[in-house]
Structure 1
Amino acid sequence: MSAAPDTAAEAPRPRPAPTPAPAPVPAPASATAGPGAGEDRKLPLLALLALATAVFVTSLTETLPAGLLPAMSGDLGVGEPAAGQTVTVYALGTALTAIPLAAATAGWRRKRLLLTAMAGFAAANTVTAVSSAYGLTMAARFVAGVAAGLAWALLAGYARGLAPERLRGRALAVAMAGIPVALSLGVPAGTYLGKVTDWRVSFLVMTGLTVLLLGWIAAAVPDLPGRRSGERPPMLRALRVPGVPAVLFVTLVFVLAHTVLYAYVAAFLGDLGMGDSTDLVLLVFGAASLVSIWIVGAAIHRRLRLLTVAGTLLVAAAAALLGLLAGHPVFVYLAAVLWGLGWGGVPTLLQTAAGEAGGAQADSAQAMLVTLWNVAMAAGGVLGGVLLDTAGSGSFPWTLVALLVPVLAVVLRSRAHGFPARRAGGAA
């Protein structure tokens, strides 16, 4: 899951954000002169759906190994904790490159940059599918993470820049719907496909989808200009803006907690004797995530703080349920529902919070959010692997609960900035 700023798009005054994890930004006047101008225009749905598919490819490439770890580890000749590092190295590639790539490509035209990123996914997924060497697979996954750094540096802002100002929040919701679809349909479908055929087939299907997407983007997505050099603010200045550090802390720890379990969910379920049901559990989780996205999309402008608190509590409740009653399959499925309901809207909530707290520094705040998001995913893969080796998968739920306590505390304390009790044009 992997979130991202666009250096070219224009930000409303409070800024909406994606469904996922990645990030919009305030934009220069040049962006308003393009397809995003004209308040009487409707949403460019064909273009936004292409961007949603790009988000889907990015998110699914990142999370697909979660349902395929046992098969991947067997073929690559490593243990499941080592196979789990395919998630870690992907996130590391994004974390290390998101900010420098955002800066280096800020002046690129958006369409060229998006096509470059998608071509990177096609190449990396193909190598992953055909590789029998663990080192080569890890290298391909790192390259996929770098491609994600490019993609997340522009997707959310690109979507906003294609829509009139009054519809930018809705445009983001459409484009970022690729994340919950990846979780609700993509990962379960990829897991099932890997189970009935071969895990490599799942990655080859991703390559085929990406090749089709390249043609779709070329034909249907309008271009937008990049930023001029004088319009690129220093990245770290956003840390001095009240509320931004709180949002970044919540992002780091919440994503870390989620990834500890999600990256090793196949191993966790296998230890419960439910390994054959991994695809179904992920489907339930993903379907609940879609419901969460819908609820957040409908209420975020009025209830960002309340929704963030509720999401944190729901994920913590799911973890506690897994820790106490995971021996009963019905409670595992119930926990998957609570987990999905809590987590599904979190990327949108955090990116919206970062954008609004950042104000004039929203693009910098979003760039740091994307970086920390992926640092947390990388750290979650490492921490989950260590826990699996030393304490067993039964330690995952309680690790989540422990990590979510400070998350909840920071959200509750950030009443004035970050997660304010009162927001412009809305309520808590």
Structure 2
Amino acid sequence: MIARLWPFVMGSVALGLDAYVIAGLLPAIATSLGSTEATVGLGVAAFTGSYAITGPVLAGRAGRTSRRSLVNALAVFTLANLATMLAPSVAVFLVARAVAGAAAGVYSPLSSAVAAGLVGGEQRGRALSLVLSGLAVGTVFGVPLGLAVAGRWGWRAAIALVVATSAASLGGVLLRGGELPPIPASGALQRLRAVTRPDNLVTVLVTLLTGIASLGLYTYLTVILGHSSLADHQTIAIWVWGLGGAIGALGIGRLVDKGNPLRLSLMLLTGLACALAGVALGRAPVVLLGSLFVWGLCGWASLAPQQHVLLSANPTDGATAVAANASANYLGSALGATLGSLLVAHSVSPQGLGLTAASVACAAVVLQLIRTGMRPRK
């Protein structure tokens, strides 16, 4: 399967790296462009904001001509990151980040939908898992690599990694023979109705809450670890989280194909809530490491079942539903980071941060229970 889907996986790796590596480069970029970290930090908001807005609006329409749309999205994404790398001023930098986010908002959900269409129905979960694992790999392993490259050759070299990875993905799509399967799409009004339909809305809200709890808290993981028994072993702790994430993202596909995605998602969210509580309240290193591993595993594994549910429930407009879900994930990350910033500013303890995230995950569990009880749409 990897031989057929590797260009889409590579594109997801580039997206995961691009979305999160900038946060670690703020001081270097600000100095280079003669700006402030606060201003440069708007580049992260520009990327995620454009992603969240353009995905549901454009991805469904683009699905009708999936190969051309993927090529266009990857080309724009690559060029926008090249502009980021070469930016002579902070204004060019911010515009380039917004354009890159818009292209990513089209590419990410469309690549998942196309990958699912390239395999049989019994392998859809594995295809979704494989493509989505690229986001985890790009975030968990690509970001540390990017920061290491930046430390040796400067922040522009780190962005060059994104350019090279997305260019490889673009080349893989261009070299494919034949047309990719078209993704059913509808008009603007129909797309709005699809997103706001009760079952879809609940699914997307679950993803939003999961993003707030999991990715939002990850922004402040070092704050929590700095006041824990792993304060002197933070790098190891972060890698344990990443290992769990990689295993969860890569391994969830077969379970999705063999089981009930709704119930599987409920189990993963319950595990996530327990793991976040364990991170907040755990004292012994083994408890903390186990909780971090389960957090990474359940957080990253939760995406594929949700995408599968939406594709199955929306046979005539899967791209729009998947795009809304992907946007919710990134929006949740941004909202979670903002909430965490407010809590830290008001001197909330690290344990309070973890318990707040666990409470949000519990809310996601409740919504997922409601979604599981909904009757299938006829």
TM-score using structure 2 length: 0.82
User: Residue 334 of structure 2: which of 353, 378, 388 is its match?
Assistant: 378
What is the 5 A alignment of 1:188-267? 188-220=144-176, 222-224=178-180, 226=182, 234-238=190-194, 241=197, 243-265=199-221
Report whether the alignment pairs 1:126 with 2:82.
Answer: yes
Q: 2:281 aligns with which of 320, 324, 329?
A: 324
Tell me: CA distance 1:280–1:192, structure 2 relative to 1, closer, same or farther (3 Å). Answer: farther
| Alpha-carbon distance in structure 1 between the residues aligned to 2:237 and 2:152 | 17
| Rounded Cα–Cα distance in structure 2 between residues aligned with 1:75 and 1:389 | 28
Q: Structure 1 residues 138, 166: CA separation in 2 closer, same or farther (over 3 Å shift)? A: same
Q: Deviations over 1:7-65 (max 9, x none)?
A: xxxxxxxxxxxxxxxxxxxxxxxxxxxxxxxxxxxx5x433111111111122211223
CA distance 1:162–1:358, change in 2 (3 Å): closer
1:24-423 equivalences under 5 Å are 43=1, 45-68=2-25, 78-79=36-37, 85-107=42-64, 109-131=65-87, 133-220=89-176, 222-224=178-180, 226=182, 234-238=190-194, 241=197, 243-265=199-221, 280-300=236-256, 301-325=258-282, 332-358=288-314, 360-391=316-347, 394=350, 395-417=352-374
The Cα shift of 1:363 comes to: 4.0
User: CA–CA distance in 2 between the matches of 1:251 and 1:182?
Assistant: 20
Structure with more of its chain in helix, by fraction: 2
Q: Is the 8 A contact 1:241 1:358 kept in 2?
A: no
The aligned amino acid for 1:416 is G
Which amino acid in the other structure matches residue 344 of structure 1?
W
The superposition leaves residues 54-81 of structure 1 with CA deviations (integer Å, 9 ceiling, x where unpaired) of: 11112221122355456556666545x7
Letter in 2 for 1:56: V
2:270–2:362: 8 Å Cα contact kept in structure 1? no
* Deviation for aligned residue 1:144: 1.4
Which secondary structure state, in structure 2, belongs to the residue aligned with residue 397 of structure 1?
helix
1 CA distance for matches of 2:229 and 2:39?
A: 21
* Corresponding residue number in structure 2 for 1:22: none
Structure 1 residue runs without a partner (length 5+) = 1-42, 421-428
Unaligned runs of 5+ in 2: none
CA distance, structure 1, for counterparts of residue 98 and residue 237 of structure 2: 28
Q: Does the residue aligned with 1:234 lie in a helix, a strand or coil? A: helix
Aligned length: 374
Q: Give the 3 Å change call, closer, same or farther, for CA 332–153 of structure 1 in structure 2.
A: same
Does the CA-based 8 Å contact 2:213-2:336 persist in structure 1? Answer: yes
Give the direction of change, closer, same or farther, for the CA distance of 1:146–1:295 in structure 2 (3 Å limit): same
Taking CA–CA contacts closer than 8 Å with sequence separation of 6 or more, which of the two structures ends up with the larger relative contact order?
1
Deviation at 1:400, TM superposition (A): 0.6
Asked if the contact 2:60/2:319 (under 8 Å) is kept, the reply is no
Q: CA deviation at 1:405?
A: 2.1
| Same amino acid, percent of matched pairs | 25
Aligned-pair distance for 1:345?
0.7
Superposed CA deviations along residues 221-261 of structure 1, whole A, max 9, x for unmatched, are 64236568878881133357553222122112111222322
Please give the TM-score of this superposition, normalised by the length of structure 1: 0.74
Q: Aligned to 1:337, what secondary structure does the other structure show? A: helix
Aligned residues: CA RMSD: 3.6
Cα pair 1:314 1:338 within 8 Å, conserved = yes
Partner amino acid, structure 2, of 1:213: S
Aligned to 1:13: none
Displacement of 1:199 after TM fit? 3.6
Contact 1:287 1:340 in 2 (8 A): yes
Task: Point out the more displaced range, 277-286 or 172-181.
Answer: 277-286
2-structure distance, mates of 1:318, 1:229: 38
